[in-house]
Amino acid sequence: MISEAERFDVNHPQLCPHLRWKSMFIQADSDPTVPPSNSGHFWCVYTHNCLGPDRGLAEPGNCSTPGRACYGTGRVA
């Protein structure tokens, strides 16, 4: 089982380029005095919801595995 920090790590080097989350679209400088608001709301570009094309959960912990059926392509077969 992976830790929560790993599960929601959006800085993973192999993160699927089709995963999206709200803070991607907020243009603000980082403020170390403000705790992160990692709300855990992620979605896939292909399905536009929290499940990927393979019906698996779309979040960094699951979308950073090139072995996942839909990784990088949006296709499962």
Instruction: Provide the pLDDT for residue 5.
Output: 80
Over range 7-33, report the average pLDDT: 87
Instruction: Provide the pLDDT for residue 71.
Output: 95
Residues 6+ apart with CB under 8 A from 22: 39, 41
pLDDT tens digits, one per residue of 31-68? 788 776 656 689 999 999 999 999 999 999 999 989 99
Instruction: Provide the pLDDT for residue 36.
Output: 65
- Which stretch of 3-7, 11-15, 59-63 has the lowest confidence by average pLDDT? 3-7
Residues 6+ apart with CB under 8 A from 32: none
